[in-house]
Amino acid sequence: MSELYDLLNPESLSDNYVRQLRQTIDAYLPQHVFIGEVLQNALDAVRESAGGKHKIDICVDLGKLEVSIKDDAQGFPNDPRLLFLGGGRKDGKKLAGQVGVGLKVVLFSSSYFSIRSNTTDGSFSFSISNACDFDSPIDSRPNFSMPKIFDPDPNPLEGTGTEIKYRFRPDSKILSNYMGEIEEQALPKGIKSDFTKTLENAVDSNNYPTRFATLLASDLKRFSYLGMTGVPDLLKDTTVSITVKCQNPITTLGSVLGEFFDSKSSFTFQAPVGYLEMSETVSWASMPKPALYSQNLGAGGSDLPKVHNGFNVTEYRSISDFESLLTNARGKLPADIESFRKNLFPKINFARLTVARIPAFERYLPGGSQRVFSANGVVTRHSPDLTKGRNQQYVRCFDIVVDVDAELNYGKTHLKSMHLVAQLKNFVNEAYRSTIQNAASRFVGKTDPFEDDDRSVAFWSRADLLRPELTLRKVPADENDVIALFFELAGMGKFPEFRWYGLSQRDKYDARAVIQRNGDSESVLDNPSESSLRVVEFKLRAGSVVEDFDREDKSPKDIHLLIAYEEGVSKSGQYQFLSIEDSETRHQAPERIYPHVTRVLQDTQSGYEVQVLLLKDCLEAFFPPPPPPNAPEDAVDE
């Protein structure tokens, strides 16, 4: 019998290896795990095959949580070591996947995983079940043994290429989190969002078969590896075909996304490689529609005409181009121009700037205008704030992509070099102050910063909280609701461990409180000092604090406790939610855990953990539902 590898045990079984694998998986966004990572592997395989005409076929069954992705590139190597975490790198090739981690993330997140490959050296197949149980107790852990060489495929693929199929468990949250992120980004107002008109335009113009197909393609082309900001020549002739199946879309996806299936249960469409720009989505619309202009910006943002229904796109690729973005109306460059010339400009591949009115961005782009940094075409989740410039009302009147030659972190959501990130943020801010704000004001005219906002706020139509014990009648819809809910519960005696010393809208953080932790005596409440004060932050959804961290407005090391109505989704691979039982805080200092905390938000780079108190979970604990009416009397007594 030939020797066997153990997929979780390169040398000897190591709890540290298993833990590292779990942390790596948690660093990846749901979109990447569900479809992005295997798609990225297929795109990289095409690039390594020296380009040419290639096809990538994707089939997604949302009801069964099954995905298959097949390419006709050079084929996955017959080397089982590539399925070890850290087994294989792509250094020096400027591919989307630099480390080769993503495929393992998908494998160990799935209940079934198979790979078939056909190369010029032969074919093979391999499958494994229940790999998602890799961190279960050793005595119940599945067998992860496999041969040192994969067995030949008895029914090989036609031609060279790779086919990967995988399935998630029915209780997996990967799909719901992914769809929730799409809905939050592209449809902030639900069915009433402006982008829904563009979804209709795409179907009416026969570009996509359903509104859901348009939405999925738009998300992939705006926020995933398919949306490369600069399409390499090796991928320009690649066709990506996507088939979506779902027998009960409303049950599976909810009323909004399910309705976008347009009464279909299966459809196929093509999604070309490339970042989603307004020029593409505007082409789907009927007349009158915004006109495309390509007028260069003069010094200080001059030379743009005022246009009532149009958008202006300019691209910058040389050092002199980059400097023109930083040249103010007096012809002056910023004081730190030499630092830009020396440290930043040589790393920029290009910058692409689009100027338009806010309603145009809201209608034609999912999520509206963005400030995006990409690494050799791969979009990151950095979200730089604009802090320079006097006319902040024009911030949402421009969309910019700055692509750099740089490496990404494990989750491929952020650049590795934080120094480079700081330089890019400074560059965009200087460009906004010197030219972009003035160009936008000339192009769109006077702008009311709230012109596209619905100033009226719905109250009566909000979902009912269905908690007769409370005076708060509606499900929290913003941060103020969360604060009100917490203090109403506190007034009912539900949080006796807290003593509050004030809230502030002007302070960097929301509130200060003295809190009796699990290891504290009651004297901490009776005889507090200033050093006893803890920093407390309130959010509607805990995941939204990640945007504050990315903008460097707030820091995870400063926040002692985050109080939110529900968890939400972290949009950054750097920050991951963990159960308090799996946290470093629980392992190292359980006495420091705050009452009612069940989750932590961990910064995977620094190791800092923010404890999270979820009021939605607290409501279920404080006010459990009554027993069924036909329950036995002894059950009621219990």
Clarify whether residues 437 and 523 are in a common domain: no
In a domain, 92, yes or no: yes
Closest listed residue to residue 389, CA positions, set 473, 268, 301: 301
Q: Which among 185, 199, 243, 193 has a CA at the least distance from the CA of 35?
A: 243
Six-digit token string for 469: 């014990």
Over residues 110-130, the mean pLDDT reads 93
Residues 427, 289 within the same domain? yes
**Strand, coil or helix: what is 206?**
coil
Cβ density class 569-589: b for 16+ within 10 Å, e for less: bbbbbbbbbbebebbebbeee
Do 370 and 497 fall within a single domain? Answer: no
| Per-state percent for the chain, helix, strand, coil, to nearest 5 | 35, 20, 45
Q: Name the residue among 497, 529, 494 with its Cα closest to residue 515.
A: 497
| 415 shares its domain with 516 | no
> Does 555 map to a domain?
yes
Q: 511-559, pLDDT tens digit by residue? A: 999 999 988 887 889 888 898 999 999 999 999 998 888 767 788 999 9
Owner of token pair 């200080």: 300
% of the chain at pLDDT higher than 90: 56
Number of structural domains in the chain:
3
248 with 397, same domain: the answer is: no
111/29 same-domain check: yes
Q: How far is CA 198 from CA 210, 361, 387, 397, in A?
A: 12, 11, 31, 19
- Choosing from 444, 461, 495, the residue where a domain stops is 444
The answer to whether residues 407 and 540 belong to one domain is no
- Give the pair of three-digit tokens for residue 378: 């791969």
pLDDT category, 332, cuts 50, 70, 90? very high
pTM of the predicted protein model:
0.74
Residue found under tokens 């910063």: 449
For residue 288, say if its preceding peptide bond is cis, omega within 30 degrees of 0: yes
pLDDT bracket for residue 253 (50, 70, 90): very high
Shared domain check, 382 and 299: yes
Q: What is the pLDDT of residue 25?
A: 81
Q: What is d(CA 395, CA 144) in angstroms, rounded to the nearest whole number?
A: 52
| Residues 542 and 492 placed together within one structural domain of the fold | yes
Distance, in Å, from the CA atom of 545 to the CA atom of 537, rounded to the nearest integer, reads: 9
244 or 572, higher pLDDT: 244
200 in any annotated domain: no
Q: What is the pLDDT of residues 414-453, one digit of tens each?
A: 888 989 999 999 999 999 999 999 999 989 886 654 444 4
Backbone angles phi, psi at 60, to 5 degrees: -125, 120
Torsion over CA of 262, 263, 266 and 269, rounded to 10 degrees? Answer: -20
| CA 433 remoteness from chain centre | 29
Q: Are 187 and 368 in contact (CB under 8 A)?
A: no
Angle formed by the axes of helices 211-223 and 174-186, to 10°?
A: 90
**Assigned domain for 399 exists:** yes
Cα separation, 576 vs 594, in Å, equals: 19
Which residues, in sequence order, are CB contacts of 578 under 8 Å at separation 6+?
A: 26, 599, 600, 602, 609
Same domain, 299 and 153: no
Confidence of residue 245 (pLDDT cuts 50, 70, 90): very high
Rounded to an integer, what is the distance from CA 227 to the centroid of its chain?
Answer: 14
CA distance 32 to 40: 9
271 domain-assigned: no
* Lowest mean pLDDT, pick from 257-261, 385-389, 424-428: 385-389
CA-based diameter of the chain, in Å?
A: 85
Kindly state the helix (H) or strand (E) to which residue 249 belongs, with its residue range: helix 249-253
CA distances, 318 to each of 348, 350, 364 (Å): 9, 8, 29
Give CA 401 to chain center in angstroms. Answer: 17
pLDDT at 628 over 70: no
Tell me the per-residue pLDDT of 605-619, one tens digit each, with 9 for 90 and over.
Answer: 788 999 999 999 999
Q: In the prediction, which pLDDT does 96 show?
A: 47
Report DSSP state, residue 11: S
Strands (E), 367-458: 371-375, 378-379, 398-404
What is the span of the domain harbouring residue 407?
278-444
H helix or E strand, kind and range, residue 127: strand 122-129
Mean pLDDT of 231-256: 91
456, part of any domain: no
Which residue would you say has higher pLDDT here, 137 or 489?
A: 489
Domain assignment of residue 226, yes or no: no
Instruction: State the Cα–Cα distance between residues 21 and 13, nearest whole angstrom.
Output: 13
User: Which CB contacts under 8 angstroms, 24+ apart, belong to 7-14?
Assistant: 7/80, 7/83, 7/84, 7/128, 7/131, 7/144, 7/145, 7/146, 8/134, 8/141, 8/144, 9/144, 10/84, 10/87, 13/138
Q: Which of 427, 362, 419, 439 is nearest to 401 (CA)?
A: 427
CATH number at residue 93: 3.30.565
Q: From residue 348, how far is each of 343, 492, 622 by CA, in Å? A: 10, 57, 54
In 285-356, which ranges are continuous DSSP H helix? Answer: 319-325, 337-339
Q: Is residue 356 included in any domain, yes or no?
A: yes
- Helix ranges, 36-129 (H): 37-48, 102-107
The alpha carbon of 119 is separated from its chain's Cα centroid by a whole number of angstroms, namely: 34
592: region left, alpha or beta (phi > 0 left; psi from -120 to 50 alpha)? alpha
Q: How confident is the model at residue 98 (pLDDT cuts 50, 70, 90)?
A: very low
Strand partners, 66: 61, 167
Q: Are residues 399 and 339 in the same domain?
A: yes
Compute CA 442 distance to the chain's CA centroid, rounded to the nearest angstrom: 34
- Predicted pLDDT at 627: 67
Three-state SS at 346: helix
- The answer to whether 351 and 316 are in contact (CB under 8 A) is yes
Residue 434 sits in the same domain as residue 486: no
Residues 134/23, Cβ–Cβ less than 8 Å: no
So what's the pLDDT on residue 16?
Answer: 74
- Scan for tokens 């009648």, then name that residue: 473
Distance between CA 562 and CA 547 in Å, rounded?
14
